[in-house]
Chain A
Amino acid sequence: MIYLDWAASAPPDAHAIDEAREVSARLYANPSSPHAAGREAGARLARARADIAALLGAEPDEIVFTSGGTESNATVLLSLLARLRLGGSRGLKIVTTAIEHSSVFEQARALEAFGFRCAFVRPDSNGIVAPSAVAEALDEDTALVSVMLVNNETGAIQRVAEIAEVVRERCTRAGRRILLHTDAVQAFAKIPFSPGSLGVDAASLSGHKIGAPRGIGALYVRKETTMEPLALGGGQEKGRRPGTENLPGICALARAADDGLAALPREMEEARKKAERLIEGLLAIPGARLFPEGRADQPDERFSPWIVSVGFPPLPGEVVVRLAESRGFLVSTGSACSSRKKDRTRVLEATGLSPETALCAVRVSTGPATTREEIDGLIDALAREVPPVRAMSRGRAR
């Protein structure tokens, strides 16, 4: 089987797995314990934290380890609940987008039940949110702006740095603070960025998208940013995320990030070539459509080269996924995270597609280990399998 679903979960990074195994077996002591074994675990934790901070151009204190992307996102959104203590409706507005991952989108919607107002800014037909559209949604009650960096279904890279600028300018004029967060799960170690250069206050990262095990992630929190934790306990992570630290996961995350970022400059160029080849090959299959259609078939810097979304309307994406699997290729429908039917097409619909067309989307997501032969193999498989099955479907030209 050829694995082309990296955006859902990446194959393990061998070094990271070794690291996790070694740390699990040897450094089992609690990093908060005062004895020698605890101190050794604590030292290793500090080193991993420093490593990740360095990779992000951040300071060690700015890294909070969590269980993954969903928890990192929830930590930011749920910190707003503390504002309810102030009473009134001031500071109860959230500005985010219609294309966020469900862990931001659904969490924001859940906060509406507590009195928060949400603006879900829509993207253009390319799936990219305009900074001016975010600016329009800001008002004096806005407490948080959350915009993802790379969309997990379309690969569209959001203009987070420009949005940060708009938000900062608004803050300066009004003399207030607006928390600015980005969900960088599909960007971390996949495209070059640093939270500092983006100008955000918080950024969510996940381990298993880059080869670390599941159950580890991180939240970058810029220093001097206050975020009230929802869970209380032993005061770990400077009280921002209590609970005994997942040291094997943390060390694996540091290792996978190091491997990924070290290779990124040369991988990026290669990835763009592979994406171009993939898009060109898929579009040569009769009936193929690229989502969003405005994405160019030559290297398009507005999109992550690791994610390509196509469809063969009227064939539902899940049918194409099964056809690919029958030939040994594992791809995915739009998003692996939305099993509920209602939410399956939200992101692509926001780009202006009809629900029927959006349901046709197939996501091919690759990683550094993906070869050109594998890409050619997928193209060949779909070129053979899709047209006869598509001809059987309703809506074909008679």
Chain B
Amino acid sequence: MRDSLFLVKYGEIALKKRNRGAFVKALKDSIRGKLPDLSISVYETWHRVYVRFSPADREAVSSCLSRTFGVVSFCEALRVPTDIPAVEEAARELAREYLAAGRGTKFKAEVRRAEKRYPLTSYQIACRLGDALLAAFPELTVDVHRPDWILSVEIREHAYLYGPESAGPGGLPTGSSGRGILLLSGGIDSPVAGWMMAKRGLALDAVYFHSAPFTSEKAREKVETLARMLSAWLPGLLLHVVPSTPVLARIKERSKEEETTLLMRACMMRLASLIAAQRGALCLVTGESLGQVASQTIESMAFTETGAGVPVLRPLVGMNKEEIISIARRIGTFDVSNLPYEDCCVLFSPAHPLIHPSLDKMKRAYAGLKADEPIAEALERTEEVRIGARAPGL
């Protein structure tokens, strides 16, 4: 059986001029990295990326492309020699397929001729193909205004013919914007935040703070499931499971009750920054949304990010809960996030947390923790869990 081909369109990357090469390489690496077990070949010619695959893998490849950032759209294409009889034969093959699939009988042909030395103009080629199809399939009619399907033809070093396109998620290919550390809890927001930054080309590691015995193994499994769901959009990710109980104990011992949540969050930022340094990551990503809870007011954020040594990206900061939920549903994490294995951190949440903390006071409280030692202990005992495929170079 001959190999099949997906043609991939990558919109935004094309605008990157001199950096285009690096972006396209990131896109190709990203596709390969997500399908390490398939024998596919990913290559670029004439500003298009092609994925050649064996027909048995069609579903897997198509599902991968629909979740690969940088892909604007993709479609299965036939690649044939550029001589007109071969192109006509391929057109008939596709038309037969679309008719059999009940896609409708009104069509039009769109031809682009990148190879300008070709003897016929685009318009002439389109006419030839229209005639060929009408002759072969009497039920077909041409409708250039409202066609049921469009037969697209690109004349390059070969002729490529394709029909309806499937949408990709757009954005920038993973890794083209560097690496970030996602603070992943079991909630609704953080997976969405990670997804949004990955959409802008950030490769991700995730950090999960596990405070046994207050949090259950099920809570940890839930986070691993969420990481696995996110990893469908990424060429795999590394999950750092940080045992944070020693830090909690120190906070409980040396701080006022109303400050505990803020101090814990500052310590989490600190821990995540240390992991960022180890991993060569350039930023942290959180699911914070302005004003959602006491620790997410602007005063609280101003303090908690003092623990971070790198920029803290908060892609949800201006979003409402319903907006966040609609993305969570789209990427499939919502139902898992909603599972009831909540941790027992409510044990530590103060009855009346600070809402507008004073930055100076909180900084002094943080210094008073002398948290370096429990933070180092937590870091020492951090476990790394590889989620999903391991991409080359990522």
The residue in chain A whose Cβ has the minimal distance to the Cβ of B213 is A322
The distance in angstroms between the C-alpha atoms of A315 and B348, with both chains bound, is 11
Cβ of A314 under 8 Å from chain B: yes
Q: Which of A323, A389, A394 contacts B350 (CB 8 A)?
A: A394
The residue in chain A whose Cβ has the minimal distance to the Cβ of B252 is A392
Contacts from B to A (Cβ < 8 Å): 212-214, 216, 248-249, 252, 257, 340, 344, 347-351
A85 cross-chain contacts in B, Cβ below 8 A:
none
The distance in angstroms between the C-alpha atoms of A394 and B214, with both chains bound, is 12
Mask of A298-328 contacts with B, CB within 8 angstroms, 1/0: 0000000000000000111011001100100
> What's the nearest-Cβ distance from chain A to residue B183, in Å?
22
14 contacts between A and B (CB under 8 A): A315-B347, A316-B344, A318-B344, A319-B213, A322-B212, A322-B216, A326-B213, A389-B213, A389-B214, A393-B348, A394-B257, A394-B348, A394-B350, A394-B351
The distance in angstroms between the C-alpha atoms of A79 and B349, with both chains bound, is 49
A318 cross-chain contacts in B, Cβ below 8 A:
216, 344
Mask of A384-398 contacts with B, CB within 8 angstroms, 1/0: 000001011110000
Q: Which of A319, A326, A341, A391 contacts B344 (CB 8 A)?
A: A319
Top 6 closest pairs, chain A to chain B, by CB: A322-B213, A393-B347, A392-B252, A319-B213, A323-B213, A316-B344
Number of A-B contacts (CB under 8 A): 32
> What's the nearest-Cβ distance from chain B to residue A390, in Å?
10
> What's the nearest-Cβ distance from chain B to residue A65, in Å?
35
The residue in chain B whose Cβ has the minimal distance to the Cβ of A339 is B340
> What's the nearest-Cβ distance from chain B to residue A392, in Å?
5
Contact: B347 with A316, CB < 8 Å? yes
A389 cross-chain contacts in B, Cβ below 8 A:
213-214
The distance in angstroms between the C-alpha atoms of A38 and B257, with both chains bound, is 72
Contact: A314 with B213, CB < 8 Å? no
Given A314-B347, A316-B347, A389-B213, 12 other A-B contacts at CB below 8 A?
A315-B347, A319-B214, A322-B213, A326-B213, A341-B340, A392-B248, A392-B348, A393-B347, A393-B348, A394-B257, A394-B348, A394-B351
> What's the nearest-Cβ distance from chain B to residue A37, in Å?
47
Q: State the interface size on chain A (CB cutoff 8 A).
A: 14
Mask of A122-153 contacts with B, CB within 8 angstroms, 1/0: 00000000000000000000000000000000
The residue in chain B whose Cβ has the minimal distance to the Cβ of A340 is B340
Contact: A394 with B213, CB < 8 Å? no
The distance in angstroms between the C-alpha atoms of A316 and B348, with both chains bound, is 12
B216 cross-chain contacts in A, Cβ below 8 A:
318, 322
A319 cross-chain contacts in B, Cβ below 8 A:
213-214, 344, 347
> What's the nearest-Cβ distance from chain A to residue B83, in Å?
67
> What's the nearest-Cβ distance from chain B to residue A332, in Å?
13
> What's the nearest-Cβ distance from chain B to residue A145, in Å?
34
The residue in chain A whose Cβ has the minimal distance to the Cβ of B340 is A341
A322 cross-chain contacts in B, Cβ below 8 A:
212-213, 216
B340 cross-chain contacts in A, Cβ below 8 A:
341
The distance in angstroms between the C-alpha atoms of A176 and B187, with both chains bound, is 57
B248 cross-chain contacts in A, Cβ below 8 A:
392
The distance in angstroms between the C-alpha atoms of A295 and B214, with both chains bound, is 29
> What's the nearest-Cβ distance from chain A to residue B260, in Å?
8
B213 cross-chain contacts in A, Cβ below 8 A:
319, 322-323, 326, 389
B212 cross-chain contacts in A, Cβ below 8 A:
322
B348 cross-chain contacts in A, Cβ below 8 A:
392-394
> What's the nearest-Cβ distance from chain A to residue B72, in Å?
44
> What's the nearest-Cβ distance from chain B to residue A394, in Å?
5
> What's the nearest-Cβ distance from chain A to residue B222, in Å?
14
The residue in chain B whose Cβ has the minimal distance to the Cβ of A389 is B213
The residue in chain B whose Cβ has the minimal distance to the Cβ of A315 is B347
> What's the nearest-Cβ distance from chain A to residue B257, in Å?
7
B350 cross-chain contacts in A, Cβ below 8 A:
394
Contact: A394 with B347, CB < 8 Å? yes
> What's the nearest-Cβ distance from chain A to residue B174, in Å?
37
The distance in angstroms between the C-alpha atoms of A394 and B257, with both chains bound, is 8
The distance in angstroms between the C-alpha atoms of A195 and B54, with both chains bound, is 69
The distance in angstroms between the C-alpha atoms of A285 and B121, with both chains bound, is 91
The distance in angstroms between the C-alpha atoms of A389 and B351, with both chains bound, is 19
> What's the nearest-Cβ distance from chain B to residue A354, in Å?
15
> What's the nearest-Cβ distance from chain B to residue A386, in Å?
10
A394 cross-chain contacts in B, Cβ below 8 A:
257, 347-351
> What's the nearest-Cβ distance from chain B to residue A336, in Å?
15
Mask of A354-398 contacts with B, CB within 8 angstroms, 1/0: 000000000000000000000000000000000001011110000
> What's the nearest-Cβ distance from chain A to residue B294, in Å?
15
B344 cross-chain contacts in A, Cβ below 8 A:
316, 318-319
> What's the nearest-Cβ distance from chain A to residue B225, in Å?
17
The distance in angstroms between the C-alpha atoms of A316 and B211, with both chains bound, is 14
The distance in angstroms between the C-alpha atoms of A188 and B248, with both chains bound, is 46
Interface centre among A323, A326, A389 (most CB of B within 10 A): A389
Mask of A91-115 contacts with B, CB within 8 angstroms, 1/0: 0000000000000000000000000
The distance in angstroms between the C-alpha atoms of A389 and B347, with both chains bound, is 11
A326 cross-chain contacts in B, Cβ below 8 A:
213
B249 cross-chain contacts in A, Cβ below 8 A:
392
> What's the nearest-Cβ distance from chain A to residue B299, in Å?
23
> What's the nearest-Cβ distance from chain A to residue B267, in Å?
15
The distance in angstroms between the C-alpha atoms of A318 and B252, with both chains bound, is 20
Within 8 A of B (CB), among A258-303: none
The residue in chain A whose Cβ has the minimal distance to the Cβ of B346 is A394
The residue in chain B whose Cβ has the minimal distance to the Cβ of A393 is B347
A393 cross-chain contacts in B, Cβ below 8 A:
347-348
B351 cross-chain contacts in A, Cβ below 8 A:
394
The distance in angstroms between the C-alpha atoms of A159 and B264, with both chains bound, is 51
Within 8 A of B (CB), among A325-345: 326, 341
The distance in angstroms between the C-alpha atoms of A24 and B394, with both chains bound, is 55
The distance in angstroms between the C-alpha atoms of A314 and B348, with both chains bound, is 11
A315 cross-chain contacts in B, Cβ below 8 A:
347
> What's the nearest-Cβ distance from chain A to residue B185, in Å?
18
The residue in chain A whose Cβ has the minimal distance to the Cβ of B342 is A341
> What's the nearest-Cβ distance from chain B to residue A15, in Å?
35
B252 cross-chain contacts in A, Cβ below 8 A:
391-392
> What's the nearest-Cβ distance from chain A to residue B143, in Å?
55
A392 cross-chain contacts in B, Cβ below 8 A:
248-249, 252, 347-348
The distance in angstroms between the C-alpha atoms of A315 and B248, with both chains bound, is 15
Interface centre among B252, B347, B348 (most CB of A within 10 A): B347
> What's the nearest-Cβ distance from chain A to residue B387, in Å?
24
Interface centre among B248, B344, B349, B350 (most CB of A within 10 A): B344
Interface centre among A314, A389, A392, A393 (most CB of B within 10 A): A392
The residue in chain A whose Cβ has the minimal distance to the Cβ of B217 is A322
The distance in angstroms between the C-alpha atoms of A393 and B260, with both chains bound, is 11
A316 cross-chain contacts in B, Cβ below 8 A:
344, 347
The distance in angstroms between the C-alpha atoms of A323 and B212, with both chains bound, is 9
B347 cross-chain contacts in A, Cβ below 8 A:
314-316, 319, 392-394
A323 cross-chain contacts in B, Cβ below 8 A:
213
The residue in chain B whose Cβ has the minimal distance to the Cβ of A391 is B252
